[in-house]
Amino acid sequence: MRTLEEILAISVERKGSEAAIFEGFEPAKTADQLAATSDDRWLAAMSRAIFNAGFNWKVVEAMWPGFETAFKGFDPGVCSMMDDDWFDALITDTSIVRHGPKIRAVQENAVYVRAQSEAHGSFGAFVASWGVDDFSGLLAHLKSEGTRLGGTSGQYFLRFMGVEGYILSQDVVTRLIAEGVIDKPPTSKGAMTAVQEAFSTWHHASGRSLKEISRILATSTG
């Protein structure tokens, strides 16, 4: 496995400069900032990532004000109590994407958000409690305890919220395969552990954040 500096050199050669690699880059939020973010914003971002999956993101973005109204501001207490009448109304609501399983996921994830908030003080505090060396553990928790938050949906959700972590995009996976970390897109627990170990190794050796490392890996191939 190459050092991060060696991979960065590949990215610089491809993109022309380190500045070009990090154009538009925003650092992750602090633990205090994450903990202070209200639960409704976590549920909203969660839901947005789910509705984006397999769909045109620009369409979802244009419709998002309608989503906010239809789901009553994504208040977890309200959404967790969604009854059949509300669900049936949402299925026919043209202001949102009318996808039954994804609509139901909002309710189920509202229950998830409330449970973690009650246990940790807020959902943001729950997320902030995970260290960078166990980001894969947080992804696994989202997948197992949340609804439709596996794969890149959970990863993009956390990125939207400013959480320190990585996204296993096609370009990043291509670099991880080239470095011998994995031999195919990671889906198993063992493969995700190997990915986490590689990111942690690069993080501790370079001092760069997981988000920076993710950008470097992506630009080295894409």
151 and 170 within one domain: no
55 and 23 within one domain: no
Task: List the structure tokens of 98.
Answer: 């009318």
99 and 22 within one domain: no
Tell me the CATH number at 91.
1.10.340.30
**Number of domains into which the chain is organized:** 2
Q: Which domain holds residue 145?
A: 31-160
101 and 35 within one domain: yes
Boundary (domain end) residue, out of 113, 142, 160 = 160
Percent composition of the chain: helix, strand, coil (DSSP 3-state, to 5): 70, 0, 30
Tens of pLDDT, residue by residue over 103-150, are 999 999 999 999 999 999 999 999 999 999 999 999 999 999 999 999
212 and 120 within one domain: no
Ranges of residues in the chain whose predicted pLDDT is under 70: none
199 and 184 within one domain: yes
52 and 152 within one domain: yes
191 and 97 within one domain: no
Q: Please give the helix or strand (H or E) that residue 15 lies within, else none.
A: helix 4-15
Spatial distance between the Cα atoms of 112 and 127, rounded to a whole number of angstroms = 13
pLDDT (0 to 100) of residue 222: 87
138 and 184 within one domain: no
Residue 67, exposed/middle/buried by CB under 10 A (0-12, 13-18, 19+)? Answer: buried
Q: What is the DSSP string of 103-157?
A: HHHHHHHHHHHHHHHHHHSSHHHHHHTS-GGGHHHHHHHHHHHSSS--HHHHHHH
- Residue 50: what are its φ and ψ, rounded to 5°? -70, -45
Boundary (domain end) residue, out of 116, 132, 160 = 160
Q: How many other C-beta atoms are found inside a 10 Å radius of the C-beta of residue 204? A: 11
Spatial distance between the Cα atoms of 116 and 131, rounded to a whole number of angstroms = 17
102 and 155 within one domain: yes
The string over 22-51, giving b where at least 16 C-beta atoms fall within 10 Å of a residue's C-beta and e elsewhere, is eeeeeebbebeebbebbbbebbbbbbbbbb
Angle between helices 151-160 and 39-52 (to 10 degrees): 140
Question: Do residues 216 and 15 lie in contact, with contact meaning Cβ atoms separated by under 8 Å?
Answer: no
